[in-house]
Amino acid sequence: MNKKLMGNPLKMVQTNDESWDKYIRHVKEVIIPYYWSILNDLIEDAEPSHCIYNFKIAAGDYLASVYMVRGRKED
């Protein structure tokens, strides 16, 4: 017997549990927007990561050198 194991599309998976609902809502409303702000260097007190800027350089949107991680040279 050689059957392929097929998974369900992620859109078909649902949770209907009150204990999970608060965590799912927290991720949607707090965690993801916060990480979006970090990746786009929008948090004032945080050191800029230049993450999205580096992706744009890699995609060819900007002609510049890539920012390096802490302790390494920045061009």
The pLDDT tens digits of the residues spanning 12-67 come to: 888 889 889 999 999 999 999 999 999 999 999 989 988 898 888 888 887 776 55
Q: In angstroms, how far is CA 24 from the centroid of its own chain?
A: 16
Alpha carbon separation from 11 to 4, 8, 23, 25, 62 (Å, rounded): 21, 8, 18, 17, 35
Predicted local distance difference test score (pLDDT) of residue 68: 59
Please answer whether residues 38 and 49 qualify as being in contact, where contact means their C-beta atoms are separated by less than 8 angstroms: yes
Two tokens at 36? 């979006």
DSSP 28: I
